[in-house]
Structure 1
């Protein structure tokens, strides 16, 4: 019985430590997943905006601003 009294606090603290560390790792994993999802969503929105900006820049360099002007020029 002496061994149980000596080892029980260590075992209990080890179990608590295990659950705390596991909770930290799970929280970190979920945060990284949420951040990656947010970045994917942000990149997707910016990709469509940057494509529109590129088309606008190309049109302004050509001097034509809409499809009717392009049709006249051709």
Structure 2
């Protein structure tokens, strides 16, 4: 009887630890995903700015060439 209780206690402890580790991993993945999305938004904004600068440069170049 005592052995069964010890096994149940150990199982409960192991399940709690597994839940903790699982939660930590989920949080890590969430934070990594957030960081990746932030990097993508930054890169997209930089690309958009470069395109706008390129369009403005070509417009000025045409005006100077005329």
TM-score bin (small chain): 0.7 to 0.9
Unpaired segments ≥5 residues, structure 1: none
Identify the residue that residue 9 of structure 1 maps to in structure 2.
Answer: 10
Identify the residue that residue 64 of structure 1 maps to in structure 2.
Answer: 63
Identify the residue that residue 23 of structure 1 maps to in structure 2.
Answer: 24
TM-score, with structure 2 as normaliser: 0.77
Unpaired segments ≥5 residues, structure 2: none
- How many residues matched? 65
Greater length-normalized contact order (CA 8 Å, ≥ 6 residues apart): 1
Decide which structure has greater helix share: 2
Moved over 3 A (4+): 55-60
Shift of 1:6: 2.2
TM-score, with structure 1 as normaliser: 0.70
Shift of 1:53: 1.6
Larger Rg belongs to:
1
Structure 1: distance between partners of 2:10 and 2:52: 63
